[in-house]
C-alpha cells in the first residue's frame, strides 16, 4: 500500500479538506502515476453534494487526470517511468461483456469508475484525482502528447471525450448544422470539436457575456436561449444538437429546432429529471432524443491523438486545490471559462500552509 494525500468531502454540506488514504501497491499490470493536474467536472459537484444520491463518504473526486508515470508493474509494456499519461472516468471493467469487447467499456454493467465506485482490488470505494498519486490498470491509462499545454489536456479526459464521442457517433461533419447547448466545460469542448469536424456550429447559451468567446471557440452563430424570437429563427433546421446543461430544462425548445430525423443528444446529467418532452415534437418529424456516456478507452485515445494533431486543448483556469469549493460555487453560477483545473503542486499536508 502507498500513502496518498488527497482532498475529500466528508458530507454533502462540508467543504473539501485534506484527507490521507492508501492506494494499492502496484500489481504487475498496474501503472503508478504522480498526478500533476486534475480538471473539475460538474459531475464532481453533483457527487460531492450527493445530488445523484449515490455518494459514499468520504469521497475524493476527480476524473480528468494527467500526470507522470513513476512506476510500472512487470507486465506493463506500453508505459514506462517518466511518460506523460492520462486517466479519465473509468479505471476498470469486466473485459468480456459485449460492450467491453467492442471497446465501449463505459457501457459495461460492472465497470469501475475512477471515484465513488466499489473497488474490487481493495474492497473500498475508488478515490479520484484530487490527490497526489493514483495506481491504475494499464488498460485504462491513456498516452498524452508532450506537445500540448498539459493543464489544458486534463479536461479532455472527461469533458473532451464526452462531447467527442456523440459527435463521432452521429457523424457530425461538413454540411451539417449542429447545436451545442451550454458553454461550460463540456459545451466549450463540443463547440471546438464540432467546428474541427467541419460543421456549422450554433451555440445556445443563457449567458450573453459568453458570446464573443463562443465565436472565438468556433461557433458560427450564437443564440441566447431565453429569447424566444432568436430560437424561432432556427425552427426545423438542425441535424444534431448536443445538450450539456447541468440543470433540468424544457427539451421541447430544442426538439422543435431539429429537422426531420434530427437528433437531440443529452449529455448533461441533472440531479432531477427534465420535464418530459411533447410526443408530437418527436413523431411528426421522426426526431430522436438520445443520450451518451463519456467514451471507451480506444475512442478516448483516438480523441487525445486528434487533439494532439490539431492543437486542441481545453480553455482553463488553473487553481490551487484550496480553491475547489469556490470553483464549485462559480460553476453553479455558470461562471467558468471554461474549465477549472487543479494544480496538484498546491496539495500539501494539513498544517503545511498553502
Close Cβ partners of 246 (under 8 Å, ≥ 6 residues apart):
42, 46, 182, 184, 268, 269, 270
**Least Å distance between CB 174 and ligand NAP?**
25
Question: Cα angle at 319 between 149 and 9, to 5 degrees?
Answer: 125
C-alpha 94/C-alpha 332 separation (Å) is: 35
Measure the CA–CA gap between 318 and 341, rounded to whole angstroms: 5
Any idea of the CA torsion for 172, 174, 179, 183, to the nearest 10 degrees?
A: 90
Q: Which stretch binds ligand NAP (CB under 6 A): 74-82, 132-140, 205-213, 345-353?
A: 205-213
φ and ψ of 202, to 5 deg: -115, 125
Q: Does 314 bind ligand NAP (CB under 6 A)?
A: no
- Closest to ligand NAP by CB, 213 vs 256, is 213
When asked if residue 218 is in the footprint of ligand NAP (CB under 6 A), the reply is: no
Between CA 238 and CA 292 the distance in angstroms is: 19
* Options 157, 158, 196, 264; binder of ligand NAP; rule CB under 6 A: 158
Cα–Cα–Cα angle for 47, 53, 58, nearest 5°? 50
Q: Where in 332-351 is the site for Zn ion (CB under 5 A)? A: none
Instruction: Report how far apart, in Å, the C-alpha atoms of 76 and of each of 26, 31, 69, 122, 264 are.
Output: 11, 8, 12, 21, 41
Q: Least distance (Å) from ligand NAP to the CB of residue 248?
A: 8
Q: Does 76 bind Zn ion (CB under 5 A)?
A: no
Q: Smallest distance from the beta carbon of 18 to Zn ion, in angstroms?
A: 23
State yes or no: residue 182 binds ligand NAP (CB under 6 A). yes
Of the candidates 283, 286, 289, 207, the one whose C-alpha atom is nearest the C-alpha of residue 254 is 289
- Residues 6+ positions from 1 with CB-CB distance below 8 Å: 22, 23, 24, 25
* Interatomic CA distance for residues 258 and 203, integer angstroms: 14
Examine residue 245 and tell whether it contacts ligand NAP (CB under 6 A): yes
The cell for 76 is 506493463
Does residue 334 touch ligand NAP according to CB under 6 A? Answer: yes
The region of 76-84, 176-184, 282-290, 310-318 touching ligand NAP under the rule CB under 6 A is 176-184
- 41: contact with ligand NAP by CB under 6 A: yes
Instruction: Kindly tell me which residue out of 59, 154, 222, 267 binds ligand NAP, with binding defined by CB under 6 A.
Output: 267
Candidates 41, 45, 245, 297; binder of Zn ion (CB under 5 A) is: 41
| Grid cell listed for 55 | 455518494
Position 293 contacts ligand NAP (CB under 6 A): yes
Residue range at the interface with Zn ion (CB under 5 A); choices 7-15, 38-46, 148-156, 212-220: 38-46
Residue 294 interacting with ligand NAP (CB under 6 A):
yes
Query: Which of the listed partners (ligand NAP, Zn ion, none) does 15 bind, with a CB threshold of 5 to 8 Å by partner kind?
Result: none
Binding interface with ligand NAP (CB under 6 A): 41-43, 46, 158-159, 162, 182-187, 205-207, 210, 244-247, 267-270, 292-294, 331, 334, 336
Binding interface with Zn ion (CB under 5 A): 41, 43, 158
Amino acid at each position: 500500500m502507498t500513502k496518498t494525500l488527497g482532498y475529500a468531502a466528508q458530507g454533502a454540506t462540508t467543504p473539501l479538506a485534506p484527507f490521507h488514504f492508501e492506494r494499492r501497491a502496484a500489481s504487475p499490470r498496474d501503472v503508478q502515476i504522480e498526478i500533476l493536474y486534475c480538471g473539475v467536472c460538474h459531475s464532481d459537484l453533483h457527487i460531492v453534494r450527493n445530488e445523484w444520491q449515490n455518494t459514499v463518504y468520504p469521497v475524493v473526486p476527480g476524473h480528468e487526470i494527467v500526470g507522470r508515470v513513476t512506476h510500472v508493474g512487470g507486465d506493463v509494456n506500453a508505459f514506462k517511468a517518466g511518460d506523460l499519461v492520462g486517466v479519465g472516468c473509468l479505471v476498470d471493467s469486466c473485459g468480456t461483456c459485449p460492450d467491453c469487447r467492442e471497446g465501449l467499456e463505459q457501457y459495461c454493467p460492472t465497470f469501475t469508475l475512477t471515484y465513488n465506485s466499489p473497488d474490487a482490488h481493495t474492497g473500498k470505494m475508488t478515490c479520484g484525482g484530487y490527490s497526489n498519486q493514483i495506481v491504475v490498470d494499464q488498460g485504462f491509462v491513456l498516452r498524452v502528447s508532450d506537445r500540448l499545454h498539459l493543464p489544458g489536456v486534463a479536461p479532455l479526459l472527461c469533458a473532451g471525450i464526452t462531447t467527442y464521442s456523440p459527435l463521432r457517433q452521429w457523424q457530425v461533419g461538413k454540411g451539417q448544422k449542429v447545436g451545442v447547448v451550454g458553454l461550460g466545460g463540456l459545451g466549450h469542448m463540443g463547440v471546438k470539436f464540432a467546428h474541427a469536424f467541419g460543421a456549422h456550429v450554433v451555440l445556445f447559451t443563457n449567458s450573453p457575456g459568453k458570446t464573443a468567446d463562443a465565436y472565438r471557440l468556433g461557433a458560427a452563430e450564437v443564440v441566447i436561449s431565453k429569447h424566444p424570437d432568436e430560437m424561432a429563427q432556427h425552427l426545423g433546421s438542425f441535424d444534431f444538437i448536443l445538450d450539456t446543461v447541468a440543470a433540468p430544462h424544457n427539451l421541447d425548445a430544442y426538439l422543435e429546432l431539429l429537422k426531420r430525423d434530427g437528433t437531440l443528444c443529452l449529455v448533461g446529467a441533472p440531479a432531477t429529471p427534465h420535464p418530459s418532452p411533447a410526443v408530437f415534437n418527436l413523431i411528426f418529424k421522426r426526431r430522436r432524443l438520445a443520450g451518451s456516456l463519456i467514451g471507451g478507452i480506444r475512442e478516448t485515445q483516438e480523441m487525445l491523438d486528434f487533439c494532439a494533431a490539431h492543437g486542441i486543448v481545453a480553455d482553463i483556469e488553473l487553481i490551487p486545490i484550496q480553491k475547489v469549493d469556490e470553483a464549485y460555487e462559480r460553476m453553479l453560477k455558470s461562471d467558468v471559462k471554461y474549465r477549472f483545473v487543479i494544480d496538484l503542486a498546491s496539495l500539501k499536508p494539513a498544517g503545511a500552509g498553502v
